[in-house]
Amino acid sequence: MPLLQIAEPGQSAAPHRHRLAAGIDLGTTNSLVACVRGSVAETLADAQGRHLLPSVVRFSATAPPLVGHAARDTAAADPLNTIASAKRLIGRGLADVHRLGGHLPYCFVDTDSAVPRIRTAGGDLTPVEVSAEVLKTLARRAEDSLGGPLTGVVITVPAYFDDAQRQATKDAATLAGLKVLRLLSEPTAAAVAYGLDRRDTGDEEGVHAIYDLGGGTFDISILRLTRGVFEVLAAGGDSALGGDDLDRAVAHWVIEQAGIGADNDPGTLRRLMQVACAAKERLSQEPSAELQLDLPDGRHWSGTLDRATFNALIDPLIGRTLTACRRALRDARVSTADIDAVVLVGGSTRVPLVRERVAELFGRAPLGDIDPDRVVAIGAAIQADLLAGNRPGDDLLLLDVIPLSLGIETMGGLVEPLIPRNTTLPAARYQEFTTFKDGQTAMAIHVLQGERDLVADCRSLARFELRGIPPMIAGAARIRVTFEIDADGLLRVSAAEQTSGVSARVEVKPSYGLSDGEIESMLRASLEHAGEDLAARRLHEQRLDGERVREALRSALARDGEALLDTAERARIDQALARFEATLTSTEAGMIQYAIGALERTCAFYVERRMNRTIHAAMAGRRVVEFVHPEQSS
């Protein structure tokens, strides 16, 4: 029987029409755009045949922004108005940006906002606005190549980007007028590009490591493929470590060799970085590289850097990436022997020492037959084609994970985790909480990210309040807090009181992200301080229990203390309560626990009288037969 497709009046369903979608690799140093044409994913070139677009934007007071090669070529001549490596700044606070170091040749504006703004001739601009210009240029290239407007794009982000950095990337796409079909982790995109799910070879299962060393970020992801499902077992890395840092190591060597001061003008810094980058690229092919630099004082310096010296300069940086690899393997609960393939991503993986050290760690030669600069964009294009609906028969599923645990603050300054790190996305979790005091009608919800037990040791993401809770005795209200993370890794939090139905929600959009190396230090700190965190949590919980006991006793005494206690009994309870309150400041959880027991024993007779009084009040004026079960009375 033929199948009919029904369309709205005046609208053609056009089931055969290929929807135009693209994958964008928004990189620190270079960016690319790719699409699927004729069932083949390919990166798109500009009019001069260049596939890579330098992620550099020059702003002017009298002309539109200049993006790409032309902007990069003028960076040394106009450093304050030419913004490069905006990806390293996106989603970060001004304090975080300053911690990146004094090597940024920009003029940052002091404002009340947490978002850093860079002063240029074109105005005071945020990294989001700079990134939007790069995205606009790539989108125009795609639309010119494909012959029509894009229905949507997939943009790749480092696996270790936190919620703020992902949201900032999405905001940049919105400014560029793009519909984001999905934010996709760069290592996952690389795995898709390599076709690690190749059905024709029968290789439908396996564990793969994706080593991604780009211009400004490093990612390591451990993925398992099972019958078309890519599941990220663990993600790690450093959102402030990349090829720029290799260049910087060479630049510092040049400063020492040339005998010039470390404090140089922005133009000299730009020239230094360009010379260092060119030397790095030459040393990936040759045993030595010649360097030449015009100095600010008019002198000309030249020198030779051999590969052995270069390797010694960058080895500590490569070592940091390998440490992150080992941690990711532990998190994924696999060993190097379990890895079926290692994929290299990012232009910096062309450096021979990187390939040697990665091969040494994993015990196998890594895959590098696809251009490491293009592989992420190609994978994004394949996913964009699928999400646009052009491949209805494809059952490829990508499951990412969150890099750090998410939770809320509870009484006593403790963090109650709701979604642990390395949880597969999308995810939703809820947990029920209750009120601390009698008659409490509002609750403050504080959303946190991190691996420690105390609020002070984690990163604050958002705060909101649930109001209108019906006044009840402490502990009677049932407040359900729900965390929902979508496939892009963006978080929404809601809270609802179950008996009344009052609710509140917030879409977590922090104004900045985690600072340099902060994610790595959070994970390391959670291991180093596990014992003291456990002791601190126990102490906080005992103090909280003690405060509940104190509040309950005070409330009871206010209600019926005079009616049920004589003067001597009341004095004895008051003395016991005073001793107990003094104990609450103790730093020994066991002492507080003992004090709670002692107070309960002192007040046992009073509790019994209150219970008897309640029972007598409930039975007053009623017959015993009313309290007998019908089956028993028959």
- Is the model's pLDDT at 521 over the cut of 70? no
The 10s digit of each residue's pLDDT in 383-392 is 898 888 776 5
- 64 backbone dihedrals φ, ψ, rounded to 5°: -60, 160
For residue 103, which amino acid is it?
A: H
Non-local (6+) Cβ contacts of 301 within 8 A are 254, 257, 258, 260, 292, 293, 295
Place of tokens 């006991």: 549
Upper half-sphere CA count for residue 526 (Cβ side, 13 Å): 19
Q: What is the CATH number of domain 531-619?
A: 1.20.1270.10
Cα 528 to Cα 453, 522, 525, 539: the distances in Å are 13, 10, 5, 19
CB 326 within 8 A of CB 527: no
Instruction: Name the range with the highest mean pLDDT among 257-266, 527-536, 542-551.
Output: 542-551
CA angle, corner 158, sides to 249 and 232, nearest 5? 125
Residues in the chain: 634
Distance separating alpha carbons of residues 316 and 328, to the nearest angstrom:
19
* Mean pLDDT rounded to a whole number for the chain: 80
- Is the model's pLDDT at 14 over the cut of 70? no
Indicate the CATH number of 406-528 among 2.60.34.10, 3.20.20.70, 2.30.40.10, 2.60.15.10.
Answer: 2.60.34.10
Kind of pairing, strands 152-157 and 21-25?
parallel
The CATH architecture of the domain made up of 21-242+314-399 is: 2-Layer Sandwich (3.30)
Distance separating alpha carbons of residues 382 and 189, to the nearest angstrom:
9
> For position 55, what pLDDT does the model report?
93
The torsion of the CA quartet 34, 24, 366, 218, rounded to 10 degrees, works out to 160
Of 148-152, 404-408, 487-491, 541-545, which gets the smallest average pLDDT? Answer: 487-491
| Domain boundaries, given as residue ranges, for the chain | 21-242+314-399, 243-313, 406-528, 531-619
Instruction: Name the range with the highest mean pLDDT among 75-79, 162-166, 309-313.
Output: 309-313
> For position 231, what pLDDT does the model report?
75
CATH fold of 243-313 reads Actin; Chain A, domain 4 (3.90.640)
Instruction: Summarize the confidence of residues 145-164 as an average pLDDT.
Output: 86
Distance separating alpha carbons of residues 377 and 193, to the nearest angstrom:
8
- Is the model's pLDDT at 455 over the cut of 60? yes
Distance separating alpha carbons of residues 225 and 426, to the nearest angstrom:
17
Distance separating alpha carbons of residues 272 and 91, to the nearest angstrom:
27
Distance separating alpha carbons of residues 130 and 139, to the nearest angstrom:
15
CB 32 within 8 A of CB 381: no
Q: What 8-state DSSP symbol labels residue 354?
A: H
Distance separating alpha carbons of residues 153 and 272, to the nearest angstrom:
36
Question: Catalytic residues, which ones?
Answer: 25, 87, 186, 212
Place of tokens 């309040």: 465
Question: How large a percentage of the chain has pLDDT more than 70?
Answer: 81
The 10s digit of each residue's pLDDT in 358-373 is 999 999 999 877 788 8
Q: pLDDT-derived band of residue 44, with 50, 70 and 90 as boundaries?
A: very high
> For position 412, what pLDDT does the model report?
72
Residue 58: its H or E element:
strand 56-58
Q: Which two tokens stand for residue 563?
A: 């009616």
The torsion of the CA quartet 373, 377, 378, 380, rounded to 10 degrees, works out to 150
Distance separating alpha carbons of residues 531 and 528, to the nearest angstrom:
8
What are the residues facing 462 on neighbouring strands? 447
The 10s digit of each residue's pLDDT in 203-259 is 456 888 999 898 877 888 898 877 666 777 888 888 678 888 999 999 889 888 887
CB 44 within 8 A of CB 141: yes
382 vs 97, residue with greater confidence? 382
Distance separating alpha carbons of residues 56 and 31, to the nearest angstrom:
10
Our measurement of the distance from residue 427's CA atom to the centroid of its chain's CA atoms, rounded to an integer in Å, reads 14
Q: What is the DSSP string of 303-353?
A: EEEEHHHHHHHHHHHHHHHHHHHHHHHHHHT--GGG--EEEEESGGGGSHH
> For position 309, what pLDDT does the model report?
94
> For position 516, what pLDDT does the model report?
39
Distance separating alpha carbons of residues 433 and 261, to the nearest angstrom:
59
Nearest to 56 by CA among 73, 39, 43: 73
Place of tokens 């959880």: 589
> For position 511, what pLDDT does the model report?
44
Q: pLDDT-derived band of residue 629, with 50, 70 and 90 as boundaries?
A: low
pTM of the full predicted structure? 0.61
41 vs 626, residue with greater confidence? 41
Q: pLDDT-derived band of residue 314, with 50, 70 and 90 as boundaries?
A: very high
- 329 backbone dihedrals φ, ψ, rounded to 5°: -65, -40
CA angle, corner 513, sides to 171 and 321, nearest 5? 115
78 vs 487, residue with greater confidence? 78
CB 159 within 8 A of CB 186: yes
347 vs 229, residue with greater confidence? 347
Of 97-106, 276-285, 437-446, 563-572, which gets the smallest average pLDDT? Answer: 97-106
Q: What is the DSSP string of 529-592?
A: THHHHHHHHHHHHHHHHHHHHHHHHHHHHHHHHHHH--HHHHHHHHHHHHHHHHHTT-S-HHHH
Cα 463 to Cα 31, 45, 443, 466: the distances in Å are 35, 45, 11, 10
Instruction: Summarize the confidence of residues 408-429 as an average pLDDT.
Output: 79
56 vs 413, residue with greater confidence? 56
Question: How large a percentage of the chain has pLDDT more than 90?
Answer: 17
What are the residues facing 630 on neighbouring strands? none
Question: Helices 266-283 and 307-332, interaxial angle, to 10°?
Answer: 80
> For position 50, what pLDDT does the model report?
92
Distance separating alpha carbons of residues 173 and 135, to the nearest angstrom:
7
- Is the model's pLDDT at 111 over the cut of 90? no
Non-local (6+) Cβ contacts of 148 within 8 A are 20
- Is the model's pLDDT at 8 over the cut of 50? no
The 10s digit of each residue's pLDDT in 577-601 is 888 888 888 888 888 888 888 888 9
Nearest to 176 by CA among 382, 22, 60, 29: 22
CB 235 within 8 A of CB 187: yes
